[in-house]
Structure formats: C-alpha cells, structure tokens
Amino acid sequence: MACSSLVPLVLLLLVLERQLSDATNTITIGALFDQYESDPARELAFRYGVERASSSIKAEGTSIVPRVERVPASNGFQTAKRVCHLLKVGVGAIIGPATEPTAAHVRSLCDTKSVPHMTTSWRYRRRSEPFSVSLYPHAETLSQTYVDILETLRWTKFHVLYEDNNSLVRLQRVLRMMNTNNKISMTVRQLPANMDYRMLLKGIQNSGGTHLVVDCSAENIYQVLKQAQQIGMVTRYYHYFFTNLDLHTVDLHDFQFAGTNITGLRLVNTDDYDVIRQVQSWKEAEALRGRHVTVSPRRLSTEAALLYDAALLFAKAVDDLHVSRDIRVMSLNCDMDDLWPHGESVLNYMRNVEVLGLTGLVRFDTTGVRSHFSLDVVTLLDEGLVPLGRWTPEGFSASGADNRTRVVPSIKNQNLTVTTLLKEPYTMLKESSEELEGNDRYEGICVDLIEELAQALHFNYTIKPVPDNAPGKYDPETGRWNGMIGELLEGRADLAISDLTITFEREAVVDFTMQFMNLGISILYRKPTREPPSLFSFLSPLSLRVWLYMAGATMGVSLLMFVLARFTPYEWEPPHPCAPDQEQLQNNFNFLNCIWFCIGSLMQQGCDFLPKAVSTRMVAAMWWFFTLIMISSYTANLAAFLTVERLVFPITSVEDLAAQSSIKYGLYESGSTATFFRTSQIAPYNKMWQVMESQSPTVFHDTEEGIQRVKNDKGNFAYFMESSSIEYHVERDCELSQVGGLLDNKGYGIALPPDSPWTNQLNERLVYMQEQGKLAELKNKWWKNDGAQCSDDRGRSSSAASELDLENVGGVFVCLMGGMVVATLIAVVEFIFHLRDQASDDNTSVLSEMGRELRFILRCHGSTKPARAPPPAERRGSGSHGLVAFNEAAARKHTAAYGDFGTPAVS
C-alpha cells in the first residue's frame, strides 16, 4: 500500500524534472589549451568571455558554459581523444588548440561531426574549411598591412629577418614589393634556430643596414633586440618593424630610452578603457575566488583577446539562432556517423553576425575570413609604446599629434660622440704645460671645424680618438669595418671627422656630409740635392739644337753673302777708292771675309768692310737682326741660369715612376689611396698596385713612416699621399716636395651613421661656412701659418730657368731665311740689270754676257776682275758705283780670261 502510494509521487517528480531540464538549456563550448600553457590570460579570457557571453544571451533558460581540455602540443592521438570526449559530452563549438598540425586534426574531427571549430591564432588557409572560422586577421590582408606600413614609413632599403616558413608566408607581399617597385632593395635572412642572432645582426650592421623588418614570435622579440643592443644596433640610427601583433606584450623597457625607432602593430587596443576594465574585472573575480593571477591589461595578448571575442561571437550566433529554433547540444560518438544537426546553422550565423570585442569589431566577409579589422601602428618612445596611427583596409591614418616628428629630433642640445684620428694637422694632441681635460686636449682643423658647427647648431660633443687610428677599411674575411667607420656602424660614435675621404664603398654604409676640403692623390718625394754648377754652364741657356742651328745659320749666311757678293756688280770696285781709274775691280767679300763678317756681327763687334749692294746689305741687315734677337735671348736666359740653381727630379710624374724600377713607391694600405690603386682599371695604376703588393720589405706605411722613409731613402722612395697632406708637410719640411699633378679628385667629409638625423643640419651649416669663406680660413690657419717655412723655397724651385729651344727662337731663323730669299732675288735683279747695260755697251747679246759672267762667278775663286770701259755717257760724266774708266787693253785682257788677276785681298 505504502509502495503503491509512492508511485504517483515518483512519476510527478520525473515529470517535473523533465520539464525543468527542458526549460534550462546548457550549451558547452570547449577549448583546447596546451598542457604547458604559458599565458594564464588565455584561459582566463576564455572563461570570462564565456561568462560574459552567457550573461548576454536573451533566450530564456539558455546558458553557455566553458569546458577546458589540456592537450599535449604535438600529440595528435591524445588530442583526438580529448576532442572525442568533448563531443561525447556535447559541445556547441570547439576552440583551439593554437598549434598546428594538432589544430588541423581537431578541425577535421569537427568537420565530420558538423561541430563548429574556431581558431584564434595565425594560420594560412589553403582551401575552404566548411566547419571552421578563424578570428585571427586574414593572412593575405595582414601581409598587405605590412606593405602599407612600410610604404607609409617610406622604407626603401631594408633587411627582412624571418623565423620559419610561416613567417615567409606572412611576409609574402613584402617580399613581392621588389617586383613592383624598383626603388626597393631588400635582403632576406633567416633568424638562426639556436637563437644566437649576433652574427647575423653584425653582418647587417657592417653592410650599413639600418632598417630591419622582423617576423618572429613574441617570445623572441626581446632576444632580437637584446642581442642587437649588445652589438650596438639599438641606437637612434636603427629602425625596426616587428610584424608580430604582440609587440606590446614584450618588456621593451631596456630599449625605451635608446632612441631606436621600433614600430609594431597591435590588434588589441590596450590603451582602451573598456579593455583595461575588462581585464581588471577578471583579476578581481579571480581574487574573490582566492586565486591570484598575473595578468596585465596593457600586455593582453592578441590570442587571449581573440578567445574572449570567440566566446562572444558564438553566444551571439546561438542567441540569434534561438529566435527561430531551439539549439541544444547532443552527445556525439566519434565511432559513429552521427552529426550535430545545428552545427551548420550556428556556423553560418557566426559568419554573419558582428560583435564588438576586445579586438574591435569582429566580422567576416563572404568567404568567411576576417578581412576587415583595424590595427594600431605603435612606436616606442621614452614613455613606452604610443600609437603612431591606425591602419584599416581603407588605409593608414596618422593619429592626431603625429608622433613621427618626435622620432626625428633636432641636433640641438644633443650630446654627440665624435670619433677622430690623431693626425697632423687634422686632430693633434695639444702641447701644454698644464694638464688638459676633455676636448681641450685636442687641436687641429677638425677640432676647430667641429667647434664651429657645435657653436652654430648648439650641440655638445666629446672627442674620442679611434683606438686603431684608422679611417675605415672593410675586411671581407670578418665582414667588419675597422677605424672610424667601424665606430659609427657599431654605435660607438655619432660623427667621424678627420681626413676621411668620401669613397663609394664607405658611402654605401654610412652617411657623409658635403666635402669640407678638396684634394687628390699625388706623389711625395724628397727634393733632389742641388746640382753643382757645370764648367760649361754658359752653354745652358740655349739648347744643343739651337747651338747647331746657329752654327749652320752662320755658315749658310756667310756662303750666301759670298755668292751674292760675286753676283752683284756693285760689290766689285777699284782696290783704291782714291784712284778710280784702275784696271782692276776687286771684291772684298771672298768666303773667308764673309765668315769673318758674320762672326763679327754675331759677336756684336762688326768688321772694317761693309756691303754696298742692296742685296748684300739685305743679307747683312737680316743677319744683324738675327744676331740681335739671339744674343738678347741668350743674355737674358744666361742671367736666369746664373741666378737660379736648378733642381733635377729623376721623376716628374706617376708615369715616370711606373716606368722605372730603381725608385720604390708605397702608400698607406688602409686608406682610400690604397683603394684607388687596388680598384683601378687604368694603366699604369693597376700595375703599380701589383708592384707595391709584391715588394719586400713592405712599401705600405702609415703617413709618418712614409714621410720618414721618403727622407731616409734619399731619392729612392716615393710615397703616394693626398695632396692636402702633402701640401702641409712640404710647407714644413723643406726636404720634401710634391711631384706631378693629381691622380684623381675627391674630398673629405664628416661621416655619420647611416640615416643619421643630423646629416642635413650639418650639411646646411657646412654650405654656409663655405660661402662665408670660413672653411678656407680654417685651412689657411692650419696650413700656412703655423710653422710653414718652405714656401719661398718652393717658389724659387718652381720658377727654375730652362734652356731655350727651337720652339722659343725658331721664328728668328724663319725671318733670317726669309731675308736671305729676298736678298737673293735682289741680287738676281741687280745682276740682270747690269748685264743688260753691259751687253748694250759691248754690243753683245745679254746671253753671251751672262754666260761669261756666270762662268766667272761659278769658279768661286778670284776676287779681282778687270774693269770695263763705261758707256760713252758715263765716260763723259760720273763714274757711278765705282765703275772705272774703260781701257782697251783691259778690255782685251778681260775678254781673254777673268781669272789671271792675282789673289784676293783679305782685310
């Protein structure tokens, strides 16, 4: 009886319980976390996300509960077992795990059971996945974001550092930038798996790389920066762009004040009040439950935020779907073919609804990917990471106060380290009786120049001589630069100022200001000892050629005088002018007399007989003109030769040096002069480099040693040096001199680390100083004034007299020759006129008279001839030109033969 009365009660309870369970609908959402999960915020975000989602569900009696499963990261079997367990319990969706390929395994299980799968970490979707939804920004769009940011930052030359194959996929659009823009140059390097990045970074540093795009996990960002800092790559001259969306989770405090340009992206706006409040509330709730969690709202990771948003999205989809149907989870068996009937609908709803989560508005495009999202572009300043602007698919918009202006500071009030070489007269240690400190210890043109710049631009500086005292040379074996360039690249100096030549190789790795001094390579050589005056130095004013030509001219003119004097009738005259009626005519100009006449004129002495005919007077006049010029030139040049001591250089140019082997030559091996010879394609420079390299003992010396060797080797050593330094040393050491001109043309500039923000400011000031003549003034101060003593000496040697050659006096010879031709023509005219008169007087033909005269002339000896009777008119009157009275006997004798008339009279 008692039992039978209990039956209705039990039935009632069963009905009530059934009705109660129909009224409460609990939907479980499963999440798979790594069993060694390092970020406590992720699970917290998931749990509180579900809690928040559940509270927002409008459908009565429906609640969402979280269920967390821990799985080993790379154990697919274990993971599958946990997933099957979740399916057995009954879940509305499964989130995670974060690592592939386990996640792929879970995705395919969900696929077979029509249970939505949600992903919150980056992955590349190769094919469409019907039961999966990824809240992480779409890979392709994200890749385009990087391109947009790099374009906004105007990076054209950078190094891309990637971690693994996924990084390469993420960076694919960046890598393609080179194909579309030929101004872009990039090198792509993989970060070593052993996490020792120093070698890699050093290589980039030595190649002058300053802009780095780094794609690595958030855990490695700190290591990359720390190791970069260890080798001096975390200075104001370096720029980093981290593609990881979790840069804000890294402790960047160590790098915050270095002035390095560190840019990153952020999906979660950790500065947002709602986000901060949200995270704060989780912590408080945990504290109420007696649990202490170390979660910082400012360091909330992207994945944690996405887990929170995933719960919101699922809840929103379920809630919206509830309006039309009752969604309930059901137990599914992995070994059977059963499916969750609501899976597809929930998934479709998730792809269509929008929720505002911690990562902004979560929504999907028609293909089911999250291509619409916005990112904060953040940069590291002294106050931490601050937003530079916001990226959306529409483009980049800078935030109100453009922070970029703050990362390009003015040189004003900066404390700069200036590296330099101790080398005369660029930077030298100051001699002083007192102990000097700081920059006061140094003096020189570079010290003055930097002081001028500092005064004008209001910056402070500390001079620090470079330890190896080298300008900067690249060592291909170590991949490093030494000297001042190394100091700049390794972040130990901000400026390098010395006799630092601007070269192509250096320009590629550091920045240079404009030239502050121009110069070229030249030869430093010992001044030869002065020649002892020679016994025959009186011959020196004229070259041998000129002497020979003069001797020839003397003989030639003498001969011509002799011939013309025989031709012209007017040089034949009675031997005694007081007794004109003599039977014979005499010619003073026999050959020996002609030579005597010429020599007498040449020596400026003259002689006691002078020509009378126009033709011979023409010869004499031209000869006197010739001697006047020649003797004047000789006298003038002799004076120069006697007052100037001549220096004879065995070499006068680089070609001379290359063509001989007795004089050795060398240079400074670590400088631009060596680079010029080493890289030259031009003969003889390339051959000279080979010769220098093969020399033993070495011919490579630094400047001081080089100068010393030039002096000690007494003309057997020449040293290639830059003209500015040669000029300085030649002014001070009179034993030295510069030989030949400049081999090239270049200049010294102030070097700065690549992309230094100070280059333009220094350039502007240098241009101003140049225009004001300040640079020339500084050079004058250090080159001319202090200790310069050999300028006069140099002046004298440079104006040394040189012998006169045919080029100098050739014109006089030409005039002489012209005069001789004219004289010959006159003589011919005289001769013909005379013949004509004679023929008419004798009643003979002109030709027979000519034949007779020519026969006599061409015998070339005999300086007397019989006088002829003058024509009747003449006989009555004057006896012109000394022609004497005609006498029959003489005429007969004359007809017989001209030659019997004694020897010529030599005066």
Give me the residues that bind ligand GLU (CB under 6 A), please: 471, 499-501, 668, 671-673, 721-722
Alpha helix (H) residue ranges in 215-327: 218-230, 273-288, 302-322
In the complex, the smallest distance separating the C-beta of residue 493 from ligand GLU, rounded to whole angstroms, is 15
Question: Which residue(s) pair with 68 in the sheet?
Answer: 31
* Closest to ligand GLU by CB, 467 or 810: 467
* Closest to ligand GLU by CB, 574 or 671: 671
DSSP notation for 382-434 = TTEEEEEEEEETTEEEE-SS-THHHHS--STT-EEEEEE--BTTTBEEPP-SS
In the complex, the smallest distance separating the C-beta of residue 670 from ligand GLU, rounded to whole angstroms, is 7
In the complex, the smallest distance separating the C-beta of residue 811 from ligand GLU, rounded to whole angstroms, is 46
* Closest to ligand GLU by CB, 249 or 672: 672
- 373 closest CA partner among 171, 168, 134, 213: 134
In the complex, the smallest distance separating the C-beta of residue 675 from ligand GLU, rounded to whole angstroms, is 7
In the complex, the smallest distance separating the C-beta of residue 507 from ligand GLU, rounded to whole angstroms, is 12
In the complex, the smallest distance separating the C-beta of residue 746 from ligand GLU, rounded to whole angstroms, is 9
In the complex, the smallest distance separating the C-beta of residue 506 from ligand GLU, rounded to whole angstroms, is 8
**DSSP E strand stretches across 442-553:** 442-443, 460-465, 474-475, 480-481, 495-496, 511-519, 521-526
* Interstrand relation of 62-71 and 25-34 (parallel, antiparallel or unpaired): parallel
* CB contact at 8 A, 123 and 134: yes
* Closest to ligand GLU by CB, 368 or 483: 483
SS3 of residue 300 by DSSP:
coil
* Closest to ligand GLU by CB, 39 or 499: 499
Question: Which residue(s) pair with 752 in the sheet?
Answer: 511
Query: What phi and psi, each to the nearest 5 degrees, are found at residue 487?
Result: -60, -40
Question: Which residue(s) pair with 501 in the sheet?
Answer: 748
Residue with smallest beta-carbon separation from ligand GLU: 671
**Which residues have CB under 8 Å from 718's CB, separation 6+?**
523, 524, 525, 651, 657, 663, 664, 665, 666, 710, 739
- 561 closest CA partner among 608, 606, 601, 617: 617
Helix (H) or strand (E) holding 87: helix 76-89
* Closest to ligand GLU by CB, 520 or 575: 520
In the complex, the smallest distance separating the C-beta of residue 521 from ligand GLU, rounded to whole angstroms, is 7
* Closest to ligand GLU by CB, 750 or 809: 750
* Closest to ligand GLU by CB, 444 or 471: 471
SS3 of residue 227 by DSSP:
helix
Query: What phi and psi, each to the nearest 5 degrees, are found at residue 207?
Result: -90, 5
- Distances in Å between the Cα of 85 and the Cα atoms of 68, 109, 461, 652 are 12, 12, 70, 97
* Closest to ligand GLU by CB, 77 or 504: 504
Q: What is the C-alpha separation between 448 and 466, in angstroms, rounded?
A: 18
In the complex, the smallest distance separating the C-beta of residue 517 from ligand GLU, rounded to whole angstroms, is 10
Query: What phi and psi, each to the nearest 5 degrees, are found at residue 787?
Result: 80, 5
In the complex, the smallest distance separating the C-beta of residue 501 from ligand GLU, rounded to whole angstroms, is 4
In the complex, the smallest distance separating the C-beta of residue 295 from ligand GLU, rounded to whole angstroms, is 56
Question: Which residue(s) pair with 667 in the sheet?
Answer: 700
* CB contact at 8 A, 210 and 511: no
* Closest to ligand GLU by CB, 345 or 738: 738
* Closest to ligand GLU by CB, 131 or 676: 676
In the complex, the smallest distance separating the C-beta of residue 209 from ligand GLU, rounded to whole angstroms, is 22
In the complex, the smallest distance separating the C-beta of residue 218 from ligand GLU, rounded to whole angstroms, is 44
**Cis status of the peptide bond prior to 684, with omega within 30 of 0:** yes
* CB contact at 8 A, 173 and 143: yes
Q: How many residues does the chain have?
A: 907
